[in-house]
Structure 1
């Protein structure tokens, strides 16, 4: 009998010793696929539980944490104690764990009992994925901003005559998440074909450096890569322009689109020989952009979008994040989650790929140790009061 697509990942168990963003986002994606994700947190919890505003009067349910931890369960274990590590290893064997994920420092793997060698001895078929700043060969702390800086992403971001800037989202964390997700899926395929487990070490630096797939080879060939701000360095006009009521992004990618653009009322003054071909427009791009801005600032965003789209010139309003929530095309992609305790409702982003069987309403992020009773007491048979006394859980 053929397996339904939604059944492919059902029953797959993911155990995650994770925190912050990079690995939690990866396991969030795995959860959306239908896998069972269990977070193992220290007694003090994931630091992101305490970042920013909290829901109600709680202390470990900050909005920053809630965004990428729904569809997961949470237990607490003090992995610095031998008893905590013993329980984790018991889980790996008995649950059993198909996929183990972590973004702890590589130098802490063995001390916490989560290194690949130890876990693969317990489960030969385990798929092990670890995200770190620079891989196991360079086990030092790393955060998204420093990775953006070191890999050159920051240098090529921003206006030419201003300081380098960070990308507006934590792109190093996100790229590492996607790389880990890909590694897990590769591991599942390898398990299916070869019957063996696998290890996948993800370097945030390498995942981010990969984004310079065009710029780095050009720089190496002697073509200097500089900051262009919102303006393209090959095609013109491609930039942001102020309107009478906001901002738009126009992307004229060929001469046919340019010819259509200069036929609109107000734009006829740009129909000049020096701008007829893209090479001339790029040569005078700063002057051209200034001239376009003088025209667009007299027109509304909706008017420009309507006219340009009618003749297939790429154009978009520059949305605020609040605008995105109201955008009829984008809004229907988003997910929803509601806290059964406080009634708090959140809008969540969609996964980067379409999952046909994905329900729009998702379970809420777990409270710290919310599933200690279910997992540690009912499944493994431990006395929770004794574990609390021994400082293994909270």
Structure 2
């Protein structure tokens, strides 16, 4: 798996998160990824996105999150010699990843037509904010605001809240990666065929609203901020405290799971009550149900309760912080380490699928 793309060359004219995350996917699987950074601005802006107290040597933790095992090259595309170097890279590339602002591709003679003139079988993957015809700057926060994510996220009494990671960038990166993989498949049939794959953050965000979108489109139900609760399922997302003061959450997706939960808690009769017997009525009466479950779960130690849930195939989990997450052996197996620019960078793998034949 680590060398599945060892014969592939990717040139990345992209900064921040979404575009580099696509290049990161290919670098993890063995491709040679050359990251072209803006010499005039000192490189990818995320090199400077450091938290208070973060060491100043080497790349920032943010930059390291999506730039594993790439070869960085600082170029000024407005300089004749540097542009010649960029063209030479494009000529040998299988894939070119870009996130140029509207008009910059023309300014630097790097439109799709220009790329094809340099490399007739090139695959270009391009990410924009609001589409190729918009010159509007788009950071993840702006997209979360404009596509409904913030309006749905948070507690009922909290203001609209952004998700604590750049989810829209991640979603757009996945969609661009999928489009590029489709182009690579088509090139098996037509090796000389060039392709351009376009993805916008806006389109990716809208398409990722899934059931929340259909709740509106089909039922005209505007999602409200309900914290971690699920609008269609109960109990799902409620937070409970065990007897040893640890936080537990449940994701009960079926009536069978609810019955088994009640057996674990020693209240099997609860599953037979009309107001809790089926998911629809549990959603209607979720506040009262949550209070009853709170009393029962509070009598358990966390490990004992979670083990019982696991043994009975009842979806339950402890709410963990990132220290707890990465102290687990399971998460440790997913880490990549790289020594570069005087600093060791550690990050989780993003390509975690397996292929069997």
TM-score, normalisation: structure 1: 0.81
The alpha-carbon deviation at position 55 of structure 1 amounts to 7.4
Question: What is the match of residue 337 of structure 1?
Answer: 337
1:23 shift after superposition: 0.7
Please, what is the CA RMSD of the aligned residues?
Answer: 2.4
Shift of 1:87: 2.3
Query: Which stretches of structure 1, 4 residues or more, deviate above 6 A after TM superposition?
Result: none
- Aligned equivalent of 1:219: 216
The match for 1:367 is none
Q: Name the counterpart of 2:152.
A: 156
Alignment of 1:278-317 (within 5 A): 278-317=279-318
- 2:80 maps to what in 1? 82
2:49 — aligned with what?
A: 51
Aligned residue in 2 for 1:233: 231
- Preserved CA contact (<8 Å) 2:3 2:29: no
CA distance in 2, matches of 1:254, 1:6: 39
| Larger RCO, structure (CA 8 Å, separation 6 or more) | 1
Partner SS state of residue 149, structure 2: coil
Distance change >3 Å, CA 320–CA 74, structure 1 → 2: same
Partners of 2:336 and 2:349 within 8 A in 1: no
Measured in 2, the distance between the counterparts of 1:111 and 1:313 equals 58
1:101/1:129 contact within 8 Å kept:
yes
Please tell me whether the aligned partners of residues 49 and 65 of structure 1 are also in contact (alpha carbons under 8 angstroms).
yes
User: How big is the shift at 1:328?
Assistant: 2.9
Of 181, 195, 198, 2:195 maps to 198
**Matched-pair contact (CA < 8 Å) for 1:129–1:180:** yes
1:82 CA displacement: 3.0
Look up the match of 1:13: 9
User: How many pairs does the alignment contain?
Assistant: 348
Give the Cα–Cα distance (whole angstroms) in 2 for the partners of residues 146 and 284 of structure 1.
36
> Aligned equivalents of 2:284 and 2:88: distance in 1?
67
CA drift of 1:102 comes to 1.4
Q: What is the Cα deviation at residue 56 of structure 1? A: 5.5
DSSP-derived class of the 2:6 partner: coil
Range with greater deviation from structure 2 (234-243 or 135-144): 234-243
Q: Structure 1 regions of 5+ residues with no counterpart?
A: 358-394
The question of whether the paired residues in 1 share the 8 Å contact of 2:183 and 2:195 is answered with yes
- Which piece of structure 1 moves more, 127-136 or 221-230? 221-230
d(CA) in 2 for partners of 1:57 and 1:214?
Answer: 43
Q: Residue 62 of structure 1 corresponds to which residue in structure 2?
A: 60
Structure 2 gaps, min length 5: none
Measured against aligned partners, the alpha-carbon deviations of 1:76-125 in whole angstroms (never above 9, x if no partner) come to 111122332222113322xx111111122132111123221111111110
Residue 210 (structure 1) aligns with? 207
| Matching residue of 1:91 | 89
SS at 1:155 equivalent = helix
Q: Which moved more, 1:305-314 or 1:21-30?
A: 305-314
TM-score, normalised to structure 2, is 0.89
- SS of the equivalent of 1:49 reads helix
